[in-house]
Structure 1
């Protein structure tokens, strides 16, 4: 099956820090595109480690609600001062809001709920990393993208390698089925967001995109947190964790992800998620002293090979 070249960037998208103007330094844009996947992977994998620390100080809904409130409090004055152009029309607002709901409410909300009910952060990460398969299955019908044979082989290797990393360390937890189901719902939320963004991408300034995303997340998660136990330890460990995930995972990582989706196929970008559990395992091994067996290192190599098969251009 022939390989489909990625779509060219939409000329109607206004220049932003993530979308340079045509002719304003193609070399710089290419360098940014080359570095973006690595930066995204490191920040996203760190997010699981830091979230694990943060959830020791707060219940999941309170952690998320405070995270979103911080982001809205930061973005509102920035938008007011810089006055970036607003999204044009109800259609643009609707598509941006849908992606925000799928990522901030479904993906993060369900993942944190699953972890609170007994699924470990590592298993939650590996369940989430299987979303490239969901994207690959749905992309031909929803975005017109086709996956070549080598791409399917890469997706299978990525899934197997990620699973090997988790199983080598601690195995699948004896979590209740509803907790595992929550993590599956989380994975489907990110897959749906990836496909929606690729299919219905609209030109919009990143500041407005982020404000809509986090405002919606705050409006949905905030009331749910108030109805819950509201267990928060206001310690330096909590503030360090919530500020880290607010800035790096919410602002920087999501902006990079949306930038990558504008430049490449959904399946190719989503394949990066296969490297999140292995990279998180490496970070845990280096920073937290967590053990990583030989089978885990082998799983990292297999997952990396799978992502290369999906991402490499012929």
Structure 2
């Protein structure tokens, strides 16, 4: 008997890719008006402030086991505190956007290597071919735009740390995650992210912001678009499908980010970039077959 994937997964993939890819350009605008960990702390506090009334009004079903809360908090810490925190620190330290994107785009390869052992998921040769082709396409787009310039050792280390954090968070969610109500899972994970980020921001930064329209717009996009909608879709897709197949979507993030940055930041997409975009799309199609 043939099993069919739910139709909502197709739409979820498109919405997630658009919101997640746009987040890079928006975050780049936002951190010009604030320090990275301070910016993340305000972002997570705003998300928690929006979710708290929903928990009270909706009264969603809560996890029955204490370990469910622990697993949600671990994923929140890995993705919200470590992945985003180290990515923003890498930008501030001077690593180029192209260099950071190439490093983070190694995530599907790591997931494909570790998934069979950690989640008992079999990765086929066709999937491997798609992963490799996607990596080539993403690298082509990034190199065509700005080259690979890793200027600062701290930025490189932060980018590598972000790579391992998002890989660990993805695998942990696949292995231990359960189908909780999105309001509940997001609330726990962003509380964990805030608990991990805020003390570091207080200890190492000055909490200075430029409260202008670009900063507030960037904050609103990242809070609603990235933190609530995109993260809910990502966790739902991980639970509904194979983790390496979902991770292959990240190969489309650098090309789409470049495409969004063209009108938003004035970063033009050269002809070679379109070739890379096509390679990345073909790779994702292979990996998701």
> Where does residue 240 of structure 1 map in the other structure?
217
Distance in 1 between the 2:288 and 2:19 partners?
20
Secondary structure in structure 2 of the residue aligned to 1:195: helix
Distance in 2 between the 1:69 and 1:79 partners?
15
- Alignment gaps of 5+ in structure 2: none
Shift of 1:209: 0.6
> Where does residue 107 of structure 1 map in the other structure?
83
Distance in 2 between the 1:61 and 1:98 partners?
19
> Where does residue 15 of structure 1 map in the other structure?
none
Distance in 2 between the 1:41 and 1:242 partners?
19
Secondary structure in structure 2 of the residue aligned to 1:30: coil
2:31 to 17, 42, 55: 55
**Partners of 1:51 and 1:245 within 8 A in 2:** yes
1:267 to 214, 226, 244: 244
Distance in 2 between the 1:130 and 1:222 partners?
28
Q: TM-score, normalised by structure 1?
A: 0.88
> Where does residue 44 of structure 2 map in the other structure?
68
Secondary structure in structure 2 of the residue aligned to 1:164: helix
Distance in 2 between the 1:176 and 1:58 partners?
20
> Where does residue 304 of structure 1 map in the other structure?
281
**Partners of 1:95 and 1:202 within 8 A in 2:** no
Distance in 1 between the 2:98 and 2:210 partners?
23
Instruction: Say whether 1:169 aligns with 2:154.
Output: no
**Partners of 1:52 and 1:121 within 8 A in 2:** no
- With over 3 angstroms needed to count, the CA separation of the structure-2 counterparts of 1:157 and 1:218, relative to structure 1, is same
Count how many residue pairs are aligned between Structure 1 and Structure 2. 287
Secondary structure in structure 2 of the residue aligned to 1:106: helix
Distance in 1 between the 2:180 and 2:64 partners?
8
RMSD of aligned residue pairs (Cα, Å): 1.6
Return the structure number with greater helix share. Answer: 2
